[in-house]
Amino acid sequence: MFWNDFLESFRQAISYGLEIIAIPVLIYFVITNTSLMLLIGVAAWGFSGEQRRKDFAGREQTMTSQLIQGVSIVVPSYNEEAVIVTSVQAMLSLEYPRHEVIVVDDGSTDGMFEKLLEAFDLVRVERELPSDIPTRGAIIDVHIPRNGRTRLVVVRKENTGKTDSVSVGINAAVEPLVVCVDADSILDPSALIVVTKPFADDPIRVVATGGVIRAENGCKVVAGRIVEVNLDKHWIVRIQAVEYLRAFLFGRAGWSGFGALILISGAFAVFRRDVLVEVGGLDPDSIGEDFEIVMRIHRFMIDNDRDYRVQFVAEPVSWTEVPVSTKVLRAQRKRWHRGLWETLWKYRGMLFNPRYGRVGLVALPYFWLFELIAPLVEIFGPVIIILGLLLEVTSANFVLMFMAVAYGYAILVTLFALAMEELTFHKYSRWSELGALLVASVLENVGYRQVTAWWRLEGWWASLRGKKQVWGTMTRQGFDD
C-alpha cells in the first residue's frame, strides 16, 4: 500500500516536473546546438577568407622585417625534466626575426634545471627582474647561455604555482609581446609569425591573441617538431580531438569573428606586455587564470574607453598532450568548470551591461547559460525524461524526439565542424583517421558527454563549498620517438 502511494506520488511529481521542464529542456538543446552551428559557420566563413588570402599574406616580409615587434616566450615549468630541453630547443628555433625564450623553473624537484644547465651551457648572471607585475615567489637566480647571445633566460624561483611563474616570466620579458606556452606544448615552426600577425597589422588596437590547441597524442614528433599528424589509438583521445576541433577551433574562431572572444587558452596565448602590466598581470588565486585575464582586459579596456581587439588565430597551431586517463581528464574538467564559474561570478557585473557591448550582452549570457549551466541540463534533463518514460508519464515518441534534438543534432554539429576542418585545414590525412573521427563524433554523445558533465558539476560544487583547488599532475611521456 505504502509503496503504491509512494510510486503514485513520485509519478505525479515527475509528471509535474516534466510538464514544466520538458519543452524548455528541448528548446535549450536546440538553442545550444544551433548557436554552435552558427559559431562554426562564422568561423568557417573567416577561415575561407584567410585561406584565399594566404598567398599574399606576406609571411616572407614578416620574417625579414626589422620593424616587427619582438616576442618573449614565457614557459612556466615544474618538473618537466622529460620534455624541457627538446621543447626549449624547438622554441628557440621558431621562425621569427626577434624572440627570446624565458623558462621559469617553479621550484622543480626533478632534474629539469640540471638538464637545461647541461644542454645550454648556462651560467648564473646578476640580472634584476623588474617588479612591473606583483609576484609571490622569491627569485633564486637567473641563468643565461654562456655565449651570451642565445636568447634564453632561465629564472629559478620558489614553488608558488603556474600563474605566479607566468607573472615572473612577464616581468623578465624584454620584448613588447609576451607569448605564454606550456612546457609540453609543441608549436608549429611559423606559429609565432602567424599568431602575432594581428599585432603587426593593427598594433594599437590588438591587445591579445589566442592560437588553436590540438591534440599531440599519436603524432610523430622529432626534435620537438610535429613531423606527421596522426590520430591517437585511444578513443578517449580521439573524442577529445573532435571536441577540441569543435569547441576550441571553430567555437573560439566563431566568437572572434563575432568580435566577442572572452576565452583564449593559456597554453598558447599572446598578450601585449604593456597591457598585461596595466591590468596588473595574472591573478594567482584564480584557477581559470587564462579566462580571468582576458575578462579583466575586456573590462579594463571598455572602462577606459579604449578601442581594442582580442583575436583568435586558427592556424598554425600549438600541439599539446591531452589526458589519456580518466583520472587526469576528470581533474582537468573539474578545474576548467571551476575556473569558468569563479570567473563568471567575479565578472557578473558585466552581465547584461550594455556598456560592455557584445561581451556583456551576448558572450557572457551565452557562457552563463550554455557553458556553465550546460552540465546541469545535460545530467538532469535526460534523467527526468527517462524516468518519465519508465513511469509512463511521457511517450516514447517524446523521448526519441529528445534524443534526436539533444544528441542527433549534436552529432550533426560535430560533423559540420569536421566538414569545415576537411575543407580548410585537413590536418588528418588518412581515410582511417577520418573514419575514426566520424565514429568519435558519435561516441562522444554516448557516455563521454554525460560523464564529463558530471565531472564539471563536481568542479562547480567544489568551488561552491569553498574546497581548496589543487592543480592535477600529468605524467609526460617525452617527445622523441
- 66 touching another protein, by CB under 8 A: yes
With b for 16 or more beta-carbon neighbours within 10 A and e for fewer, the 37-49 pattern comes to bebbebbbebbee
Question: Can you read off the three cell numbers belonging to residue 10?
Answer: 513520485
- 304 touching another protein, by CB under 8 A: no
Beta strands 152-157 and 139-145, pairing class:
antiparallel
Number of residues that bind another protein (CB under 8 A): 53
- 470 touching another protein, by CB under 8 A: no
x/- track of binding to another protein for residues 185-204 (CB under 8 A): ---------------xxxx-
Q: Which has the closest alpha carbon to 268: 341, 323, 355, 192?
A: 192
- 215 touching another protein, by CB under 8 A: no
Least distance (Å) from another protein to the CB of residue 200? Answer: 6
Of residues 144-173, which lie at the interface with another protein (CB under 8 A)? 144-149
Whether the Cβ atoms of residue 474 and residue 323 lie closer than 8 Å to each other? yes
**Which stretch in 183-191, 227-235, 288-296, 394-402 sits in contact with another protein by CB under 8 A?**
394-402
- 418 touching another protein, by CB under 8 A: yes
Kindly tell me which of 223 and 423 has the beta carbon lying closer to another protein: 423
10 Å CB burial of residue 367 (0-12, 13-18, 19+) is buried
In this structure, the dihedral spanned by the alpha carbons of residues 444, 450, 451 and 457, taken in order and rounded to 10 degrees, is 130
- 65 touching another protein, by CB under 8 A: yes
Kindly tell me which of 198 and 210 has the beta carbon lying closer to another protein: 198
- 397 touching another protein, by CB under 8 A: yes
Least distance (Å) from another protein to the CB of residue 269? Answer: 22
Kindly tell me which of 245 and 372 has the beta carbon lying closer to another protein: 245
Binding another protein by CB under 8 A: which of 354, 431, 466, 481? 431
**Which stretch in 157-165, 256-264, 370-378, 407-415 sits in contact with another protein by CB under 8 A?**
407-415
Binding another protein by CB under 8 A: which of 236, 328, 386, 401? 401
- 68 touching another protein, by CB under 8 A: yes
Q: Which has the closest alpha carbon to 199: 275, 252, 258?
A: 275
- 60 touching another protein, by CB under 8 A: yes
H or E element in which residue 43 lies: helix 2-53
In this structure, which amino acid lies at residue 128?
E
Binding another protein by CB under 8 A: which of 361, 434, 451, 474? 434
Question: Can you read off the three cell numbers belonging to residue 122?
Answer: 648556462
Q: Which has the closest alpha carbon to 449: 234, 236, 264, 218?
A: 236
Q: What 3-state class would DSSP assign to 272?
A: strand
Q: What φ, ψ does residue 197 adopt, rounded to 5°?
A: -60, -40
470 CB contacts (<8 Å, ≥6 apart)? Answer: none
In this structure, which amino acid lies at residue 38?
L
x/- track of binding to another protein for residues 88-127 (CB under 8 A): -----------------------------------x-xxx
373 CB contacts (<8 Å, ≥6 apart)? Answer: none
**Cα dist from 189 to 135, 159, 239, 314, 326, whole Å:** 32, 31, 26, 15, 32
- 53 touching another protein, by CB under 8 A: yes
Kindly tell me which of 348 and 426 has the beta carbon lying closer to another protein: 426
Binding another protein by CB under 8 A: which of 3, 4, 67, 465? 67
Kindly tell me which of 8 and 422 has the beta carbon lying closer to another protein: 422
Task: Give the integer Cα–Cα distance in Å for 288 and 286.
Answer: 5
Question: Can you read off the three cell numbers belonging to residue 14?
Answer: 515527475
Residues that bind another protein (CB under 8 A): 49, 52-53, 55-56, 58, 60-61, 65-68, 123, 125-132, 144-149, 174, 200-203, 395, 397-398, 400-401, 404-405, 408-409, 411-412, 415-416, 418-419, 422-423, 426, 431, 434, 438
